[in-house]
Structure 1
Amino acid sequence: QADTEAFRDKIHVTQQNANATIKMTSASLHDLAGLIGPADKQLRLQSDRLRNEFQEVVKRYSNLQKEVATRQRYSMCKPATAPRTRTSGWGGLEAQREEEEAALIPGLESPQSPVQQQQHLVADLDYENALLAERERRMRQIETDMLDCNQIFKDLATLVHEQGETINSIEGNIESTQINTSQAVDQLRSAAQYQKKYRKKACCLLTLAVIGIAALALVIYFSAR
Structure 2
Amino acid sequence: MSFDRLSSLESQPTTWRRDDDPQYRDDPEFHHLTESLSSQLFTLTSNISRLSNQIALLGTKRDTERVRERVHDLLEETRTGFKDIGEGIKKIQTWENVNPSQKWTQQKLSSEFKATLEEFQTLQRRALEKQRASAAASRTALEEASPSAAAADDEQQQQQLEEQPRLANQDEVDFQEALVIERETEIRNIEQSVGELNELFRDVAHIVHEQGGQLDIISENVENVTNDTRGANVELRSASRYQKKARNKMCCLLVILAVILAIIVLAATIG
TM-score, normalising length: structure 1: 0.50
2:170 aligned to 92, 115, 125, which one?
125
2:133 and 2:80 mapped to 1: Cα distance?
Answer: 26
2:119 and 2:205 mapped to 1: Cα distance?
Answer: 18
The DSSP-based 3-state class of the residue aligned with 2:137 is: coil
**Structure 1 contact 32–47 (Cα < 8 Å) conserved:** yes
Once the two structures are superposed, the pairs formed by residues 134-149 of structure 1 within 5 Å of their partners are 134-145=179-190, 146-147=193-194, 148-149=196-197
Q: Which runs of 5+ in 2 are unaligned?
A: 1-56, 146-157, 212-271
1:21 is matched by which residue type in structure 2? G
Superposed displacement of residue 157, structure 1: 5.1
The DSSP-based 3-state class of the residue aligned with 1:35 is: coil
1:69 and 1:160 mapped to 2: Cα distance?
Answer: 28
Once the two structures are superposed, the pairs formed by residues 1-225 of structure 1 within 5 Å of their partners are 1=57, 2-37=62-97, 39-79=98-138, 114-145=159-190, 146-147=193-194, 148-156=196-204, 159=207
Q: Which runs of 5+ in 1 are unaligned?
A: 83-112, 164-225
2:161 and 2:168 mapped to 1: Cα distance?
Answer: 10
Q: Runs in 1 of length 4+ with deviation above 6 angstroms? A: 160-163
2:166 and 2:87 mapped to 1: Cα distance?
Answer: 55
Higher relative contact order structure (alpha carbons within 8 Å, sequence separation ≥ 6): 1
1:50 and 1:161 mapped to 2: Cα distance?
Answer: 13
Partner of 1:99: none
Kindly name which structure, 1 or 2, has the bigger radius of gyration based on alpha carbons.
Answer: 2
- Larger helix proportion, structure 1 or 2? 2
Instruction: Write the deviation string for residues 56-77 of structure 1: whole angstroms up to 9, x where unpaired.
Output: 2111110111112212322343
Query: How many aligned positions are there?
Result: 134
The DSSP-based 3-state class of the residue aligned with 1:78 is: helix
CA RMSD of aligned residues (A): 3.0
TM-score, normalising length: structure 2: 0.43
1:139 and 1:35 mapped to 2: Cα distance?
Answer: 42
The DSSP-based 3-state class of the residue aligned with 1:156 is: helix
**Structure 1 contact 59–149 (Cα < 8 Å) conserved:** no
Identity %: 23
